[in-house]
Structure 1
Amino acid sequence: MTTNRLHPLSAVTNAVQRGVVGGSVMFFLVSILSGMVSMVEVSWAFVLSPLGFLVGVGYAVAYYYRFEYELTEDTFDIASGVLSRRDREIPFGRVQNVDVRQGVVSRILGIAVVTIETAGGGSSEATLSFVSDDEAARLQREIRRRTAARDRPTRREDGVDPSADERAPVSGDPSQTASDSGADVTPSGAPVDTRPESSARDQRPESAPDGTAYRPRQLFALEMRELLLYSFASFRKAAVAALGFLTLFGMDFVVEYLLSVTDAVTQGSATGGGMPTRSLVFGTVSVAHAVAVTYAVSIAYTFVSYYGFRLGRAGDDLVYERGLLQRYSGSIPLEKVQSVTITDNPVQRLIGYAGLRVETAGYGPDSDSGSQSAVPFARRPRAQTFAERLSGVEPPTFDRPTTVARRRYLVRYALVATIPVVGAYALTRVTAFEAWYVALAVYLAVPPAAHLRWAHLGYYVGDEAIVIREGFWSRTTSVVPYYRIQTISTRRSIFQRRLGLASVVVDTASSQTFARSNPTIYDVDLPIARDVHVTGRDRLQDALTARDEGSASIGDGL
């Protein structure tokens, strides 16, 4: 095996970055010391700053020549470090995802960032910044192939080597390819595979005998109409941070603009509205603009992030690509999938759409705590069918918790609603505000909130998986195959014990549990919780036995 280096442009970009940092540090250091120590002159900055720049450039160049990586039969090896040397060996069996990221400038220059994610925790295991386009594709393909070779059995039960199942390279129009390979094409142009399960197991090699790479079999493509609907029917938390950034750097302009709008609403007359009225109008105008700007930023962010989204299958991996300004492509090994989750919000439910994500044990820059979007936005029946085929679960019939749980939520939300009422009353004791009773209106939201919380809970204990539904504003329907369960436990709080209720927690190895709670069946009767616990434990053992015998595998239905 021969070692490889990063692209030469990596040395150039890194040298510029570290040089600027080195020069800036020396400039600010001299500036601070000159104000504290009389012996230090400000003019020293014009000498030391270029010296800091050269030191940074020299370190970057040394780092480039000291950074090496190598693909072996069993591991991906990286050696790096200038003053402190670090050698890493990443076993292919631990690799969760291999992502390739390209910005606009990177695409023009023909370079990319390759990120390797493992089940190791809260950061990417390795990042190659930068390599050429061809090298990024080669690494992604080779790591994916060797990871799949570690995960799948060497030979099937019929004695045929899976790697021997070769097909001709794919060429031409993707939709025509889907049709020729036995897949139907939906009205939106995205193919749906209708082949028998045995032929749907795509175990072809990564390249043809002549070295031509196979094109992944397309499973889903986000069309422009769906992308626009997704952008308008979703909300990104990052948009709030963007609003804060815009406000921070344009505070004077923002305040002046909001005051001008307020004056226009109040007719710009001091007699047209007193100070309390003007303050109320200003607050209303500020909130309305904040909501509008945040929503607009969210629309733009979603559109740019998921432009051109495609999902396919190559061998034992799901492969995807997306993005307009910054292009992402990556792979999700089917063997690493821990659970499948259908997501929606009230707007998406209203128009009959939903999304689908898969949970892995990996964590990286293109994943949300181990969560990867497999189908960002599709009609709900289609997303449900995709989830059923991916996980092997039969169509679920949900059971709801007992109505005692709804009464519990009513009391809980009533106690929460008391907080703003008490706060409003306390405000009357220290200010001129007297209309504290207006806050009582919050109690009107308590009954519908308790009902909606209860109505959107559900669970289904199937033959192949447990399906758990929860949430209203952001509803999730999690499908957890039994063989992916790490632990299943019954939990009871002091209030649940008084009501004879319990919750069943299903824990997997997915990293999404670092950011969100485990899938949980909330507030069912204690006998039912114990029955689910025992059933889940027994079927877990049966599923593990079936997998040991090679008769169960996630993704067989795709």
Structure 2
Amino acid sequence: MNRLHPLSAVTLALQHGATGFSVPVLLVGLGSSVLDVDTGPLLALVPIGLVAGVGYGIAYYYRFTYEVTASTFDVSSGVFSRRSREIPYRRVQNVDISQGLFQRVVGLAVVSIETAGGGDTEATLRFVSEDEAERVRSEIRRLTAATGERTADPESDRPASNESIPSTDEPTAPERTREDRSRGDAAPTLLFDLETRELLLYAVTSFRWGAAVFPIAILVFLGGADSGSGLVPAFVVDAARPFGGPATLEGAAVGPLLVLAAVTAVQWSLFTYVSSAIYTVANYHGFRLGRAGEDFVYERGLVQRYSGSIPAEKVQSVTVTENPLQRLVGYAGLWVETAGYGPDSGGGSQSAVPMAKRDRVYRFAENLTGAESPDFRSPPTLARRRYLGRYAIVAAVIVAVAFGLAQVSTFDRWYLTAIVFLAVPPAAYLKYANLGYVVGDEHLVIRSGFWKRRTTVIPYYRIQTVATRRSVFQRRLGLASLAVDTASSRTFAWGSPTIYDIDLETAREIHDTGRERLQSALRERARTDDLGLSVDFT
């Protein structure tokens, strides 16, 4: 059995020691300021908590062991409650290595092992040496490939997944034997290298709402300075004053406060955009994607360095993403989903190509999935009428809100907000024009979205469920939406691929076609892999 790096004991001791120290200090502070009680006896718990925390961290280090066996990756941990895990290699989806700035200086790394069944990390080695991290990842990759070879037809040269590894414009290494691939000891073949120009273009054409936490943190840190409020910093009030904002928040009228809110929203958006660009550069600096045997390998990051592997046979679906700015300059991104990771799940290995020329990305996606350039079918024109009604209702709500504000403030030109009705027809058209789907022989391709257009390619044998959804308005129009789910980890911002607002009969036909082609694909894979699969389609 192997242990973590000795410096891990120091890190755990400091981490748990700080926790044991801070809890009594917090209780002392609450007792003296809020409860107004004598907290003298609690002060004695401060050194006790510190010592107990340090002792727990050291004990956790000595109780944590791991081992790479022939069939499983074993991890044992826990001080008071012992936990032992045996992770079969066939369930391993991704093996990632991450290094913060301090870890890179001292030569340490964190190894994260993801399995099918969710985005949570199944096992984490925090910390091991860089050489040990590479050894663990290489061994798991080698044994995962060997497991895949045992499930494949011995007379077939195809991998167990029946998926092809993409070719690119870059030179490729000579073909290797099955033994070479299973060993995983050959140097990776470079597939994609994110250039500085592409990285900067990616930063300025993308917007991450998660970066909004940074300007909010600035507001909390700087709040209260000569602004009349402990929540709003002075520079926010000063920026709104030339546009009719209040001189101070105390006793301010509704009209100036509305101006302040509008100016603050603009400032917040600009700060978020800049924070998003900085995050993108730091997160994807030095991005490289390669191929090693039947795995994709990647590395990226400026301050926090990430590297990992994505088994090709674990890929659930592939999605090409484009926002309006990226479409304007002819660029797009490519995201790969496995049963352990989904886009924006925070795992780190989901982006195969952050940003590249649009034709190159689509060619890469075609080589990866085997799906040819799709000829999309659009929903019926009745769907566009539905979007006209939907956006007209939104515009009416905006005008009604403006009218209501005019009744309680000095804002008397509420009728100017009726200009939003001019945006209703183009909004409905753009919503409709960016919808499409293709029911292919081996893949289902779904496109949707204007601000974030996504084109997802899903092999039939990766489909888990297909659900027909009908709202009240869709039932009145005879329409339905078809949601296609795979085993990847979805997030709130990135839901299941959905074919929106098609005829109910068409939805039923696609559902039946998907059922038949899923069963055909599974029977073919069962014959190839001799696994005896029998899976129902829901």
TM-score calculated relative to the size of structure 2: 0.87
Match of 1:171 in 2: none
What does residue range 143-542 of structure 1 map to in structure 2 within 5 Å?
A: 143-153=140-150, 156=153, 158=155, 191=170, 193=172, 199=175, 204-205=180-181, 213-252=185-224, 255-262=233-240, 282-363=260-341, 367-368=345-346, 372-512=350-490, 516-542=494-520
Equivalent position amino acid for 1:204 in 2: D
Distance 1:450 1:410 in 2: 5
CA pair 488-66 structure 1, distance change in 2 beyond 3 A: same
Match of 1:97 in 2: 94
Match of 2:17 in 1: 19
Report how far residue 32 of structure 1 moved: 3.8
Equivalent position amino acid for 1:59 in 2: Y
Q: Is the 8 A contact 2:295 2:311 kept in 1?
A: yes
Identical aligned residues as a percent: 54
Distance 1:117 1:239 in 2: 26
Q: Is the 8 A contact 2:341 2:350 kept in 1?
A: no
Match of 1:170 in 2: none
CA pair 9-193 structure 1, distance change in 2 beyond 3 A: same
Equivalent position amino acid for 1:84 in 2: S
Match of 2:536 in 1: none
Equivalent position amino acid for 2:26 in 1: F
Q: Is the 8 A contact 2:63 2:77 kept in 1?
A: yes
Cα displacement string for residues 176-212 of structure 1 (whole angstroms, at most 9, x for unaligned residues): xxxxxx9875xxxxx26599xxx5998733658xxxx
Instruction: Give the root-mean-square deviation of aligned CA atoms.
Output: 3.2
Report how far residue 546 of structure 1 moved: 2.4
Cα displacement string for residues 402-449 of structure 1 (whole angstroms, at most 9, x for unaligned residues): 111000111111122222222222333444443332332222221111
Match of 2:57 in 1: 60
Aligned length: 515
Equivalent position amino acid for 1:529 in 2: A
Which stretch has the larger CA shift, 510-519 or 7-16?
A: 510-519
Equivalent position amino acid for 2:412 in 1: E
Distance 1:379 1:448 in 2: 27
Which stretch has the larger CA shift, 357-366 or 400-409?
A: 357-366
CA pair 90-492 structure 1, distance change in 2 beyond 3 A: same
1:550 aligns to what SS in structure 2? helix
CA pair 162-416 structure 1, distance change in 2 beyond 3 A: closer
Which stretch has the larger CA shift, 248-257 or 238-247?
A: 248-257
Distance 1:514 1:423 in 2: 28
1:73 aligns to what SS in structure 2? coil
Report how far residue 281 of structure 1 moved: 5.9
Q: Is the 8 A contact 1:154 1:162 kept in 2?
A: no
Distance 2:421 2:212 in 1: 28
2:415 aligns to what SS in structure 1? helix
Equivalent position amino acid for 2:181 in 1: P
Q: Is the 8 A contact 2:219 2:233 kept in 1?
A: no
Cα displacement string for residues 265-288 of structure 1 (whole angstroms, at most 9, x for unaligned residues): 789999xxx988866664554333
2:398 aligns to what SS in structure 1? helix
Distance 1:49 1:250 in 2: 31
Report how far residue 489 of structure 1 moved: 3.9
Equivalent position amino acid for 2:359 in 1: P
1:512 aligns to what SS in structure 2? coil
Q: Is the 8 A contact 1:123 1:364 kept in 2?
A: no
CA pair 67-365 structure 1, distance change in 2 beyond 3 A: farther
Match of 1:75 in 2: 72
Distance 1:361 1:257 in 2: 47
Equivalent position amino acid for 1:235 in 2: F
1:434 aligns to what SS in structure 2? coil
Which stretch has the larger CA shift, 359-368 or 374-383?
A: 359-368
Distance 2:387 2:269 in 1: 29
CA pair 443-143 structure 1, distance change in 2 beyond 3 A: same
Distance 2:431 2:159 in 1: 47
Match of 2:4 in 1: 6
Report how far residue 93 of structure 1 moved: 1.4
Equivalent position amino acid for 1:225 in 2: R
Distance 1:269 1:150 in 2: 70
Q: Is the 8 A contact 2:318 2:336 kept in 1?
A: yes
CA pair 414-122 structure 1, distance change in 2 beyond 3 A: same
Distance 1:32 1:525 in 2: 62
Distance 1:203 1:353 in 2: 38
Report how far residue 548 of structure 1 moved: 2.4
Distance 1:426 1:303 in 2: 44
**Given the alignment of the two structures, is residue 140 of structure 1 paired with residue 137 of structure 2, yes or no?**
yes
**Given the alignment of the two structures, is residue 88 of structure 1 paired with residue 64 of structure 2, yes or no?**
no
Equivalent position amino acid for 1:127 in 2: T
Cα displacement string for residues 473-520 of structure 1 (whole angstroms, at most 9, x for unaligned residues): 011000001111123343333322322222222221121266533211
Which stretch has the larger CA shift, 404-413 or 30-39?
A: 30-39
Which stretch has the larger CA shift, 33-42 or 223-232?
A: 33-42
Distance 1:367 1:268 in 2: 42
CA pair 153-445 structure 1, distance change in 2 beyond 3 A: farther
Equivalent position amino acid for 1:41 in 2: G
CA pair 434-97 structure 1, distance change in 2 beyond 3 A: same
Distance 2:178 2:420 in 1: 55
Equivalent position amino acid for 2:390 in 1: R
CA pair 472-14 structure 1, distance change in 2 beyond 3 A: same
Distance 1:347 1:390 in 2: 26
Distance 1:465 1:528 in 2: 17
Match of 2:123 in 1: 126
Equivalent position amino acid for 2:389 in 1: V
